Amino acid sequence: MVDGSIEQLVRIGFSEYEAKAYIALLEENPATGYHIAKVSGVPRSMVYEVLGKLVSRGAAMTVHKDGGTEYAPVPADEFLEQLHQDHEELITSLKEELVSLGSTSDMQYVWNIEGHENVITKAEEMIAQAAHTIYMATLPEAFYDLEDLLKGAIDRGVRVVVYSSRCFDLPGGRVVAASMSEEDLRKTEGLGLVLVIDGDEVLVGERLGAMQARASWTSNSLFVLIAEHHLRTDLYLPQILDLLGDRALEVIHEDDRELFASAFESHIEC
């Protein structure tokens, strides 16, 4: 338990000697520097420097007693609460400064994400922030990972459209299932997710194995436009081709008929 606490204190910025000295003070106080060195393992030659740093941090205080100086800890709950508030204020201030610096840049990146959990986490973040529209093409597995957040978005008034190979129960949302042959499913099963949020950002995910995946995210306006255009037109293309009937073959060049073949198959509005 003590070793774990020392490690955690080190992670928030303490040196190992500072962490050992602070824990020793919590266990026995007030105490002299000599005693703290003895029980904590901090070298006697360094213990007063270490205790001075704890005082500077606000983790300890000096106690003048019988003409000498002893040390006492600031209670852990009080010290950690103050540390937490200081860090929150620092992060808020730093965020404002760094965001203002970045706002002058028009560079748009493609962020590559590795790992199933990381891909799903990014998709969850996007859906949670959606304010107007969500267009998503997905395999059933990815839909079930995101189902609750999609329902939450619908409750917020977001328009949600899901395009997949299977019908889902998504009250208030629009679900379109494409009838696909086993061969087509095998060809597309690697493309596990296309997600466009508010016309501002797109995530394209690829499934590599049972729990392996990778994806690319970007807010590049051209990529977002292409992805959203693809998803929105795919919803209506089968109906348009069905209305055209045999005339569709007249307007589609023979080199492209195989490309449109799957669109002639039935799509179900769930």
pLDDT tens digits, 193-216:
899 999 999 999 887 665 678 899
Residue 106's SS3 state is: coil
Helices vs strands, H then E, count in the chain: 11, 10
Following DSSP, what letter does each residue of 70-104 receive, concatenated? EEEEPPHHHHHHHHHHHHHHHHHHHHHHHHHHHTT
Amino acid 233: pLDDT: 81
Query: To 5 degrees, how large is the angle CA 180–CA 184–CA 188?
Result: 110
Distance, in Å, from the CA atom of 192 to the CA atom of 268, rounded to the nearest integer, reads 20
Q: What is the dihedral of CA 260, 262, 263, 265, to 10 degrees?
A: 140
Determine the topology of domain 2-74 in CATH: Arc Repressor Mutant, subunit A (1.10.10)
Determine the topology of domain 110-269 in CATH: Endonuclease; Chain A (3.30.870)
Low-confidence ranges of the chain (pLDDT < 50): 188
pLDDT tens digits, 21-44:
999 999 999 999 999 999 999 999
Amino acid 126: pLDDT: 96
pLDDT tens digits, 233-258:
876 766 676 677 777 677 777 776 66
Amino acid 270: pLDDT: 73
Amino acid 168: pLDDT: 86
Q: Where are the domains of the chain?
A: 2-74, 110-269
Amino acid 1: pLDDT: 53
Amino acid 166: pLDDT: 82
Distance, in Å, from the CA atom of 189 to the CA atom of 204, rounded to the nearest integer, reads 13
